[in-house]
Amino acid sequence: MKERLNILVVGVGGQGNILFSKILGDVLLRVGYDVKISEVHGMAQRGGSVVTYVKAAEKVFSPLVDIAQANFIIAFEKLEALRWIEYLKKDGLLIYPDYEIPPISVITGLYKYPDVEKILQEIGVKTCKVEIKNLLSSLGDSRVQNTLMLGYFSRFLSIDESLFKKSIENNVKKEFIEINLKAFELGRKIESV
Amino acid sequence: MKKLLLGNHAVARGCYEAGVKVATAYPGTPSTEITEAIAKYDEIYCEWAPNEKVALEVAIGASIYGRRAICSMKHVGLNVAADPLFTVSYTGVNAGLLIAVADDPGMHSSQNEQDTRNIAKAAKVPVLEPADSQECIDFVKIGFEISEKFDTPVILRLTTRVAHSQSVVEEGNREEIVFEYKKDIQKYVMMPAMARVRHEFVEKRLRDLKEFAETLKINKIDTGTKEIAFIASGIAYQYIKEAYPDAWVLKLGMVWPLPEKMIKDFCSKFDKVYIVEELDPFLEENIKALGINNIVGKEIFKLTGEYSPSFIKKSIENREIDIPYKVNQALAPRFPVLCPGCPHRGIFYVLGKLKDIIITGDIGCYTLGALSPFNAMDTCVCMGASVGMAHGISNASDKKQKVVAVIGDSTFIHSGITGVIDAVYNGSDILVLILDNSTTGMTGHQDHPSTGYTIKGEQAYKLDLATLCKILGCSVVEEINPYNINENLEKIKKLIDVPGVKVAIARAPCRLHRRYKFAVSKRYIDSQKCKNCKMCLNLGCPAISIKERVFINENLCLGCGMCETICKFGAILTQKG
């Protein structure tokens, strides 16, 4: 029996949430899981809060990861990490970046951007914070944040690295394969905090 | 080979394998990807239609000619297509006709939560409802077979969670299917004498379909080991299987008409049967009408929004779920926003400055003009409604109220044109602002008659909206550049006061569209000159934010320069090099 994987990928519309899930789902399928992925489209694409669910098990029914059921939440933005935290299972792991995108409600002064680290510590969540800001500027393209995070996350699954790379090649437009592979490799080497 | 496929892409694959020849649609989340995926198959003629009514009429034509056809839309689109739907139910088909309709429980991107099954019942057509991507492929094929066998259009009902989920499928090969066209005015010309005969046929067809439902393999029973029983279809079936893997489940692949004997027999085996269905109590009411009373439905399950396995469990067992990690403070909400560089921003910034006007809005990215910081929209009802509503408001106030209708280019073609014709004909005094970003923005850049391209990316005749509006009889038709904020404020004020139906076309392509190349000259804020007045924040641009002082995030800035225009201190400058 393969270990059941319930994964939430959360972030802001436009961060490459769906591609991340597609590549990951593809890899999980190749190693023999039944896989379901559920995505969000439409209004939320325009800079709203977005979530994608990736589920893998011997047999998957619901494509949704239910509340308090995720073993992993992978956040592409700090505030979004907090917003979806109720979905994390007891002893699940939250992976989030040192990356803030203030929502308009913060920009216009209606709300404050919260102290994410402090709140996470208070509620006692197991976390890995990934320092990607500098890496992204070194790559010169913030659009590969998703593959960078995938590289980092891939270390938590005992799946051969080459399968991920193959899936990136199959799912990314030709002209972007090289930079995405580079981002993946960089991500795989990051030390988290 | 096994692969992961999006529900919508699986519908497209099913159409390919079923030998579909014609596919039509107007884009609408969550249905859009069906037609986008079909467009990749050279064997299928495929198009974006101006609206769902036209799309369905095109598909009906193809079917009568003897080629399998599919027409796709979202739930609200079915309202637009309701007129031909109710009559094609009478004429029936020649080659199979499938109407894929995606409902949106939870309203991820819709203005209401209507349930397509009700319209299908009213139109007396059968409905199939797949529960995953493999069933999307299979049910398309079964749908065409039913359509041809029973001489009926068939609705394939999807919901967001099926349309927008990927699950594992096995793909098959294409089979070419061709029927001969035979002229038959008794069947295809619905004047009263013929339609009366066809109505009798429709009623008999429903009775036949009911019989057929009893033997249809996609209506099936999962035997359980526990004394708990469900009736469900679509995504609700998956939620039950996850929440209660040992339960008995009668899974309906065809949700209308119902296999009455099968349902009666199933319900008689249990003390109590739960009916789990998102949105309306459609199955529940129709099953109750059979005289079955040991069912539990909407008295414990909600009528609104999406379900989940835990929601079903919670409703049945009446207990709360233990949530280990919770944040006990209100987090800053993250509403969708107009993208950096979006041309609509300039128009809503201007409209937000105008006093004492009512702004009727419409469906598209620009609906976001209603939100802070613009607050520049009063209404949004349905595709094309902005123009008609503006006309209504103007006349209700004896033309004393100044009204501006905002509508996108795609939406204008969808159903704004007829509103303008009405307003001109009836002597209205309104300003119609067509926000022409040369694409269908919200659903992901689909082409339409005024972009000059087809769904396959081939060049097409480009409808000129300015010429069209002149021909419709508008008193003034002007083209404006949405980025010229100061100029537009004066222009729009003036236009509002001109009598008649005025049209201003604010034209600038969507900044995210790959077809257009933009010279990007990113802006930055000169901290010496900046007085931190925060005026630039009123643009609601995601690239401009504030820590102690305002600053421009150069990763997000697309260099549209609107912030430079509105800065009173000349503190926003263009980056060199």
Is A110 close to B546, i.e. CB distance below 8 A? no
What does DSSP assign to residue B53? H
Chain B, residues 461-520, CB within 8 A of chain A, namely none
Chain B residues touching residue A89 (CB < 8 angstroms):
324
Minimal CA–CA distance to B448: which of B54, B42, B6, B40?
A: B54
Asked if B542 has any chain A CB less than 8 Å from its own CB, the reply is yes
Task: Closest CB to A104: pick one of B235, B241, B337.
Answer: B337
Asked if A138 has any chain B CB less than 8 Å from its own CB, the reply is no
Phi, psi of B326 (to 5 degrees): -135, 145
Distance of CA B201 to the CA centre of its chain: 32
**pLDDT at A107 (0 to 100):** 84
**pLDDT at B472 (0 to 100):** 98
Q: Is B563 annotated as a binding residue?
A: yes
**pLDDT at A2 (0 to 100):** 73
Asked if A46 has any chain B CB less than 8 Å from its own CB, the reply is yes
Q: Is B560 annotated as a binding residue?
A: yes
**B432, B411 contact by CB (below 8 A):** no
Name residue B170's beta-bridge partners. Answer: B2
Question: What pTM does this model have?
Answer: 0.96
In sequence order, which residues have a C-beta less than 8 Å from that of residue B575 and are 6 or more positions away? B521, B522, B523, B524, B554
**pLDDT at B14 (0 to 100):** 98
Residue with tokens 């009623």: B203
- Point out the residues of chain B with pLDDT beneath 50: none
Chain B residues touching residue A49 (CB < 8 angstroms):
334
CA dist., res. A153 & res. A25, Å (int): 13
Domain limits, chain B: 2-215, 220-317, 344-507, 523-574
- The C-alpha angle with vertex B368 and arms to B363 and B374, in degrees rounded to 5, equals 135
Architecture of domain B220-317 in CATH? 3-Layer(aba) Sandwich (3.40)
pLDDT by residue for chain A (193 residues), tens only, comes to: 578 999 999 999 888 999 999 999 999 999 999 999 998 776 666 788 999 999 999 999 999 999 999 999 999 999 999 999 999 999 999 999 998 888 988 887 889 999 999 999 999 999 999 998 888 888 887 789 999 999 999 999 999 999 999 999 999 999 999 999 999 999 999 876 6
> In the CATH hierarchy, which fold is given to the domain comprising A5-189?
Pyruvate-ferredoxin Oxidoreductase; domain 3 (3.40.920)
Task: Closest CB to A42: pick one of B239, B334, B442.
Answer: B442
Is B167 close to A63, i.e. CB distance below 8 A? yes
**pLDDT at B520 (0 to 100):** 87
**pLDDT at A83 (0 to 100):** 96
Is B373 close to A85, i.e. CB distance below 8 A? no
Task: Closest CB to B165: pick one of A36, A42, A142.
Answer: A36
**B294, B305 contact by CB (below 8 A):** no
DSSP string, chain A: -PPPEEEEEEEETTS-HHHHHHHHHHHHHHTT-EEEEE---GGGGTT-EEEEEEEEESS---SSPPTT-EEEEEESSHHHHHHTGGGEEEEEEEEEES-----HHHHTTSSPPP-HHHHHHHHT-EEEEE--HHHHHHHT-GGGHHHHHHHHHHTTS---HHHHHHHHHHHS-GGGHHHHHHHHHHHHHPPP-
Chain B residues touching residue A36 (CB < 8 angstroms):
132, 165-167
CA dist., res. B86 & res. B505, Å (int): 36
Residue with tokens 């094309």: B384
Pick among 1.10.760.10, 3.10.20.30, 2.40.110.10, 3.30.70.20: CATH of B523-574:
3.30.70.20
Does B344-507 carry CATH code 3.40.50.970? yes
Single-letter residue type at B57: E
**pLDDT at B401 (0 to 100):** 97
**Hey, do B220-317 and B344-507 end up sharing a CATH topology, with the first three levels equal?**
yes
First to last CA, chain B: 50
**pLDDT at A132 (0 to 100):** 87
Residue of chain B with shortest Cα separation from A124: B325
What does DSSP assign to residue B178? B
Task: Closest CB to B29: pick one of A42, A64, A85.
Answer: A42
**pLDDT at A42 (0 to 100):** 62
Minimal CA–CA distance to B443: which of B102, B156, B134, B166?
A: B102
CATH code of the region B2-215: 3.40.50.970
In sequence order, which residues have a C-beta less than 8 Å from that of residue B281 and are 6 or more positions away? B275, B297, B298, B303
